[in-house]
Chain A
Amino acid sequence: MIWFITKRIAYAMLILLGVSFITYLLLYLIPADPARQIAGRSATAEVVANIRHQLGLDLPFYQQYLRYLGNLLQGDLGRSYVQRSEVAALIGSRLGATLQLMAAGIACELVIGIALGMLAALKRDSAIDRLLMAFSFIGVSSPHFIAAMLLLYVFAVKLAWFPMGGYGGVSHLLLPAITLGLLGSGWYSRMVRSSMIEVLHQDFIRTARAKGLTRARVILRHVLPNAITPVIPMIGIDIGIFMGGLVVVESVFGWPGIGQLAWQAIQQVDIPVIVGVTTVSAVAIIVGNLLADLIIPFIDPRIDIRKS
């Protein structure tokens, strides 16, 4: 167990190194110039060069990157070009809000996805099944930006069931979480549907029915646990896609989280913040996957970490 976790953390470090390198490289290659952004339109070439030198942007790429890595090892994510404060502090102050929305959003995804998937599998090949699968397809393929605006307009502006956005209690949390849930649930409902149809044909389901169990018990006790096992590793993988949606949804709903921070940073070419947020997202994905791998053995007795 300890050996397994140690190994996984070592892999995680390598992945993080790769992620930071790629992000850094991409930002180095884009034509936007942060020094010019900071200096403003009327600055002279001299001022811009000065700023560039101060930020170390005139150094060759590998030196910039190594300097960043060296600071990172000391827990220093750098300073924001625009807001002039520590990136770590910026992210830290917004982490709580994002985690809140993430937890609520993933919970919505799972509840909606599993419920619809189960319903579709049980009513397989009926009109309900086709309707649900069409719905999941729309959810998966609709652009987050438009869908989030639409939901905000219908439920907050027109119906006034929810506040117009911003940070606050459960009522503020609910609409962005449901938006994320609706948009992301398609993957889960399709997966639960197919895995449940497969499990329904298994011999042990016939055994359970032959035992005289009620239909509800067969489905909840025998079908469901077997059908949702493949969904758990999926949650780990999905966090990456989820983060993408988070950036958009947080911006639309004015949720003061990391996504919003990333949105602003991208607009202002605030490289340290972008790299910092990317690194934090990568950590979230890695932790999510690790958690999924650690949880599965408790649910599926056939999987033994010691042997994998």
Chain B
Amino acid sequence: MSVQTEQEAARSLLSVERLAIEFGHGARRRRVVDELSFTLQSGRTLCIAGESGSGKSLSALAIMGLLPRAAATPSGAILFKDQELLSLPERHMQRLRGREIAMIFQEPMTSLNPMMSIGQQLEETARRHRIAAGSGAHQRAREMLEAVRVPHVERRLKQYPHELSGGMRQRVMIAMAMLTNPKVLIADEPTTALDVTIQAQILELMRDLQREFNTAMLLITHDMGVVAEMADEVVVMNQGVVEEQAPLRQLFTHPKASYTQKLLAAVPRLGTAGPLASKTERPVVLEVDDLKVRFPLRRERLFTTPKEVRAVEGVSFRLHQGETLGIVGESGCGKSTTGKALMNMLAFEGSARLNGQELNGLKGEALKAVRRDIQMIFQDPFAALNPRKSILELVGEPLLIHHRLALHEREERVAALLEQVGLPGDTMRRYPHQFSGGQRQRICIARALALKPKVIIADEPVSALDVSVQAQVLELLETLQRQYDLSYLFISHDMAVVERLCHRVAVMYSGQIVEIGSRDQVLHDPQHAYTRRLLAAVPVPEMDSRRDFKALLEAFESPNPIKPHDYIAPAQCYIEPNAGHFVAV
């Protein structure tokens, strides 16, 4: 035993020992990370998994010596190659940072300096750590971008961050971190902000580079699917405390801590949802035919044909009573735009009929009347509630606008609504900031229910929530559907969530529906190439389910949605391989 531990110690590159992180001073001191210990070895990947507020990102920042000023590390040690990092002077730390220990962050959209070109930012790292100088730095930047498979390298080097997509920016971030060939790479939620196919590409790249450079990787994530794809060893954190630390296989097959068990149980898994009864015999509540949304662009020059962005092109579907239709697709495919158009928040062409009444062109009183029957829930519960209004005002507002209910009647209704979404009625006196993300989304749902609508458009309603909370909100949505015979248009990028909730699924790609059918037809027997690609990219939180994302690495050029005003798109054709299953050809 002792021989083995000695060997382990010899191989361990970075070790964190009983680390504690605190915020604030004196009586208001709060311990946000406590007794965190782990070791990291060359060529291996350690995942820190946990939900928001678990202290996982702060731990990573502590290793980098980049904790915010208000934070302190009262006890513990971080050892890197026999150096204690917590007591290392800032000047030495600067030489280590980016050279020996590099880091990539969650938000590729904001993590690059908008005022410097990609080339300048890459070369800066090379020069700082004397990896290369002069034209050598440029050469090195080129090589690294090629290594992360960025197409058209020379052009990219001259471009600025805003000219690149999120996936490309994250590749640049990885190239910048790996440029110095660091011993340790810390990746803090590197794929959370990205689409699944892009996520798959980035994960594959990171695995690739790790093999090539024998880097030790510390991956921080909330996504158990990503953990299963990447980890050798897992640390599960909750509220700043380590709940469990185990090799990947053991964690997934025999989770010991009850928290891990709960977490794994809450994760929606693609391919595990129970059967759902078909609702296609029920009456149709929402009929959408040839819906188009186009945003005109300014003329670039006088006398050129004006161009427009074709965000949604010829979308048609039926939504039945009591049914959930999922709209899935990646960012920019037009799924949210479709939802907004149906709420009449955007001008659209084509026809959308709610219970036989045409929605297109409705204005004033008629539009107001229709909105009683069609309501919306938004993605970000933190932004969807006016912080200056109490819950009574927020949830009661639709009742005031549409029914002009008196205050005491509103209070009664709001209390009933809050109880329906699982919140005590007396919380109506409070304000949004006093609630957690999950509770706020419940409040949003209560508000949407206030007018007893027939159809609710839910635009990514659980994307901003932790998995355990996500599961509760999904359950609430299902219960409410049964209770009130509601129809949902459920817009999401998460295939596992869609599988759990939706009776039918439509897959959108560059403004069009490429495949629509029952859930089992679309998700378990996908016919369109894009649907297959999308499903292949979803990481599965299971042992031995590692996917080879190599096939996805090649850039999949999506068609340009900007078309001249008078451009006539070729007509869409669908084949019907099975009854009710339509696939674009």
Is A73 an interface residue, CB under 8 A from the partner?
Answer: no
Task: Please give 12 more A-B residue pairs, beta carbons under 8 A apart, in addition to A203-B110, A204-B114, A210-B102.
Answer: A203-B107, A204-B111, A210-B64, A210-B97, A211-B98, A212-B96, A212-B97, A217-B128, A222-B113, A226-B115, A229-B115, A300-B115
Is B298 an interface residue, CB under 8 A from the partner?
Answer: yes
Known contacts A212-B128, A302-B162, A307-B298, A207 near B94 by CB under 8 Å: no
Q: Is the CB of B162 within 8 A of A301?
A: yes
Q: Is the CB of A3 within 8 A of B302?
A: yes
- Inter-chain contacts of B128 with A (CB < 8 A): 211-213, 217
The 10 closest A-B CB pairs, nearest first, are: A212-B98, A212-B97, A211-B98, A203-B110, A301-B160, A210-B103, A204-B113, A203-B111, A225-B115, A207-B111
Which residue, of B99, B102, B111, B298, has the highest number of chain A Cβ atoms within 10 A?
B111
Docked complex Cα distance between A300 and B125 (Å): 22
Is A202 an interface residue, CB under 8 A from the partner?
Answer: yes
Docked complex Cα distance between A207 and B177 (Å): 10
Q: Is the CB of A211 within 8 A of B300?
A: no
Closest to B117 in A: A301
- Inter-chain contacts of B95 with A (CB < 8 A): 212
Is A214 an interface residue, CB under 8 A from the partner?
Answer: yes
- Inter-chain contacts of A202 with B (CB < 8 A): 110
Is B124 an interface residue, CB under 8 A from the partner?
Answer: yes
A-contacting residues, B170-186, CB 8 Å: 173, 176
Is B129 an interface residue, CB under 8 A from the partner?
Answer: yes
Is A131 an interface residue, CB under 8 A from the partner?
Answer: no
Closest to B109 in A: A203
| Chain A interface residues (CB < 8 Å from chain B) | 3, 202-204, 206-215, 217, 221-222, 225-226, 229, 299-302, 306-307
Q: Provide the B86-114 mask, 1 if CB < 8 A to any CB of A, else 0.
A: 00001000111111001101010011111
A-contacting residues, B150-183, CB 8 Å: 160, 162, 173, 176
Is B529 an interface residue, CB under 8 A from the partner?
Answer: no
Q: What are 12 A-B pairs at a CB distance below 8 A?
A: A203-B110, A203-B111, A204-B110, A204-B113, A211-B176, A212-B99, A212-B128, A213-B124, A221-B124, A225-B115, A301-B114, A307-B298
Q: Is the CB of B97 within 8 A of A207?
A: no
Which residue, of A204, A207, A221, A299, has the highest number of chain B Cβ atoms within 10 A?
A207
Q: Is the CB of A299 within 8 A of B115?
A: yes
- In whole Å, how far is B128's beta carbon from the nearest beta carbon of chain A? 6
- Inter-chain contacts of B64 with A (CB < 8 A): 210
Docked complex Cα distance between A206 and B94 (Å): 13
- In whole Å, how far is A216's beta carbon from the nearest beta carbon of chain B? 11
- Inter-chain contacts of B302 with A (CB < 8 A): 3
- Inter-chain contacts of A222 with B (CB < 8 A): 113, 116
Is B66 an interface residue, CB under 8 A from the partner?
Answer: yes
Q: Is the CB of B300 within 8 A of A306?
A: yes
Docked complex Cα distance between A203 and B114 (Å): 11
- Inter-chain contacts of B298 with A (CB < 8 A): 307
Q: Is the CB of B162 within 8 A of A212?
A: no
| Chain B interface residues (CB < 8 Å from chain A) | 64, 66, 90, 94-99, 102-103, 105, 107, 110-117, 124-125, 128-129, 160, 162, 173, 176, 298, 300-302
Which among A208, A210, A214 is the interface contact of B113 at CB below 8 angstroms? A208
Closest to B160 in A: A301
- Inter-chain contacts of A212 with B (CB < 8 A): 94-99, 125, 128-129
- Inter-chain contacts of A3 with B (CB < 8 A): 301-302
Known contacts A213-B94, A307-B298, A203 near B105 by CB under 8 Å: yes
Docked complex Cα distance between A222 and B90 (Å): 19
Which residue, of B103, B300, B301, has the highest number of chain A Cβ atoms within 10 A?
B103
- Inter-chain contacts of A211 with B (CB < 8 A): 97-98, 102, 124-125, 128, 176
- Inter-chain contacts of A210 with B (CB < 8 A): 64, 66, 97-98, 102-103, 105
- Inter-chain contacts of A217 with B (CB < 8 A): 128
Closest to B66 in A: A209
- Inter-chain contacts of B162 with A (CB < 8 A): 301-302
Docked complex Cα distance between A232 and B102 (Å): 35
- Inter-chain contacts of B129 with A (CB < 8 A): 212
- Inter-chain contacts of A207 with B (CB < 8 A): 105, 111-113, 173, 176
Docked complex Cα distance between A222 and B161 (Å): 14
Docked complex Cα distance between A202 and B298 (Å): 31
Q: Is the CB of A209 within 8 A of B113?
A: no
Known contacts A210-B98, A212-B94, A302 near B114 by CB under 8 Å: yes
Docked complex Cα distance between A210 and B129 (Å): 12
Q: Is the CB of B99 within 8 A of A206?
A: no
- In whole Å, how far is A29's beta carbon from the nearest beta carbon of chain B? 43
- Inter-chain contacts of B301 with A (CB < 8 A): 3
Docked complex Cα distance between A207 and B95 (Å): 15
Closest to B182 in A: A212
Q: Is the CB of A302 within 8 A of B113?
A: no
Q: Is the CB of A209 within 8 A of B97?
A: yes
- Inter-chain contacts of B98 with A (CB < 8 A): 210-213
- Inter-chain contacts of A203 with B (CB < 8 A): 105, 107, 110-111
Known contacts A211-B176, A213-B124, A226-B115, A206 near B105 by CB under 8 Å: yes
- In whole Å, how far is A4's beta carbon from the nearest beta carbon of chain B? 12
Docked complex Cα distance between A96 and B577 (Å): 83
Q: Is the CB of A226 within 8 A of B160?
A: no
- Inter-chain contacts of B116 with A (CB < 8 A): 221-222
- Inter-chain contacts of B125 with A (CB < 8 A): 211-212
Closest to A301 in B: B160
Docked complex Cα distance between A307 and B300 (Å): 7
- Inter-chain contacts of B96 with A (CB < 8 A): 212
Known contacts A211-B128, A302-B162, A226 near B113 by CB under 8 Å: yes
- Inter-chain contacts of B124 with A (CB < 8 A): 211, 213, 221
Q: Is the CB of B160 within 8 A of A206?
A: no
- Inter-chain contacts of A229 with B (CB < 8 A): 115
- Inter-chain contacts of B99 with A (CB < 8 A): 212
- In whole Å, how far is B295's beta carbon from the nearest beta carbon of chain A? 14
Docked complex Cα distance between A222 and B112 (Å): 10
Docked complex Cα distance between A114 and B300 (Å): 37
- Inter-chain contacts of B113 with A (CB < 8 A): 204, 207-208, 222, 226
Docked complex Cα distance between A225 and B105 (Å): 22
Docked complex Cα distance between A40 and B479 (Å): 94
- Inter-chain contacts of A307 with B (CB < 8 A): 298
Docked complex Cα distance between A212 and B94 (Å): 4
Q: Is the CB of A204 within 8 A of B112?
A: yes
Docked complex Cα distance between A293 and B457 (Å): 43
Q: Is the CB of B115 within 8 A of A214?
A: no
Which residue, of B96, B114, B300, has the highest number of chain A Cβ atoms within 10 A?
B114
- Inter-chain contacts of A215 with B (CB < 8 A): 90, 94
Docked complex Cα distance between A306 and B297 (Å): 12
Docked complex Cα distance between A205 and B473 (Å): 36
Known contacts A209-B66, A306-B300, A214 near B103 by CB under 8 Å: no
- In whole Å, how far is B541's beta carbon from the nearest beta carbon of chain A? 28
Closest to B61 in A: A206
Docked complex Cα distance between A105 and B117 (Å): 34
Q: Is the CB of A226 within 8 A of B114?
A: yes
- In whole Å, how far is A217's beta carbon from the nearest beta carbon of chain B? 8
- Inter-chain contacts of A204 with B (CB < 8 A): 110-114
Docked complex Cα distance between A300 and B113 (Å): 11
Which residue, of A3, A212, A221, A300, has the highest number of chain B Cβ atoms within 10 A?
A212
- In whole Å, how far is B124's beta carbon from the nearest beta carbon of chain A? 7
Docked complex Cα distance between A204 and B161 (Å): 11
Closest to A306 in B: B300
- In whole Å, how far is A38's beta carbon from the nearest beta carbon of chain B? 52
Docked complex Cα distance between A211 and B105 (Å): 12
Docked complex Cα distance between A289 and B157 (Å): 32
Docked complex Cα distance between A209 and B68 (Å): 12
Q: Is the CB of A302 within 8 A of B94?
A: no
Docked complex Cα distance between A204 and B112 (Å): 5
Closest to A307 in B: B298
